Amino acid sequence: MAMITTVQQHILQEQREQKEASGTFSWLLSGITLATKMVEAKIRAGGLTGMYGAAGAENVQGEQQQKLDVYANEALLHCLGMRDSVAALVSEEDEEPVRINRDPDGGKYIIVFDPLDGSSNIDVNVNVGTIFSVLRRAPGELEASILRPGYQQVAAGYVVYGPSTVLVYTTGNGVHGFTLDNSIGAYVLSAERMRMPEQGTYYSVNEAHAAEWPGAYRAYVDRLRAGGLGREYSSRYIGSLVADFHRTLLKGGVFLYPPTTKQPKGKLRLLYEANPLAMIAEQAGGMATDGAGRVLDIVPEGIHQRTSFCVGSRVEMEALAEGVRA
């Protein structure tokens, strides 16, 4: 019989190696994995259970909520709210942090998440995902623990719901991938110490907005198309951040979400989109910037702060930095 390693077993092993108290963090992450398995089941049966389509309301971002947006948010709030190690939950769908009703000196962790990234693609059966970040609560005001630069994340990860459901996470000790085995109801280790290729053959960006980009980004994409980095590049853009990032992690290349004239500060959210993916990228040997500097060094000013976001292989990212500085 082939031996398997579940994500909970893997986390416990990492804790032992890092000499941290075992159990607490594994119990916390089990809330995330349980919620994502609930979401995966709803997505898989969405067209049969009436879960596709708009929910009839807007979230705090002013975006039309989908029914599965609401379900995914409620699943994460429920599964994580039951964990006594959680001090607060911060969701894309909620204007304010959800403070867990317990002793203010209790609760070691804060979980920040995008419950269903790419939800506008749900109705056409395109990959969507869940992104999460874990912060350790510091003494003092809770908000100060939330509004911290991304390099202080304790863990980060995402789940991509596709032909298979894959969980990728890091605790700062490499990047590991797990595939959901529905026959046993567990995420099973399928890729250990994942590494992003030094250079890829794909670039990913919504070129419909090219006229609104700063000139340096247009010149950079033109350079890629012209083979200016020593190889031919193909364009790949799904429109679901998790799916585009997952391909970039596995195949290399670059994903760009530049600033535009309409959104000069960028569109993606720093805390629960850019920061977690930037941490994973760096742990896998890649790089992530906002065009001006390292994403993980940005000190957030609000929980829904937006940012431009560029992430990918070292060769492509160093070339981008040169072009933006020029």
On whether both 76 and 139 belong to a single domain, the answer is: yes
Is 87 domain-assigned? yes
> Are both 184 and 75 inside the same structural domain?
yes
Asked whether the beta carbons of 280 and 155 are under 8 A apart, the reply is no
pLDDT given at position 285: 98
Q: How many domains does the chain have?
A: 2
* CA dist., res. 232 & res. 254, Å (int): 13
Any domain includes 220: yes
**What value does the mean pLDDT take over residues 311-320?**
97
Same domain (yes/no): 146, 266 = no
Q: How many CA atoms lie within 13 Å of 48's alpha carbon, on the beta-carbon side?
A: 5
Instruction: Out of 8-22, 24-38, 194-208, give the one with best mean pLDDT.
Output: 194-208
Same domain membership, residue 34 and residue 176: yes
- Kindly state whether residue 197 falls inside one of the protein's structural domains: no
Q: Does some domain include residue 309?
A: yes
Mean residue pLDDT of the chain comes to: 90
d(CA 216, CA 200): 21
162 with 238, same domain? no
Do 216 and 297 belong to one domain? yes
Instruction: Round the CA-based radius of gyration of the chain to a whole number and report it.
Output: 19
Both structure tokens of 158: 């995402």
Could you tell me if residue 114 is inside a domain?
yes
Assess whether pLDDT exceeds 50 at residue 57: yes
- The per-type count for the chain, helices as H runs and strands as E runs, is 9, 17
User: Considering 167, 191, 215, which residue would you say is the last residue of a domain?
Assistant: 191
**Residue that terminates a domain, selected from 156, 191, 226:** 191
Q: Are 80 and 151 within one domain?
A: yes
**Do the beta carbons of residue 267 and residue 214 sit within 8 Å?**
no
Indicate if 164 and 220 belong to the same structural domain: no
What CATH number is given to the structural domain containing 213? 3.40.190.80
Domain that includes residue 135, residue range: 7-191
Can you spell out the DSSP letters for 243-258?
Answer: HHHHHHHHH--EEEE-
**Mean pLDDT, rounded, for 155-181:** 96
Residues 164 and 206 grouped into a single domain: no
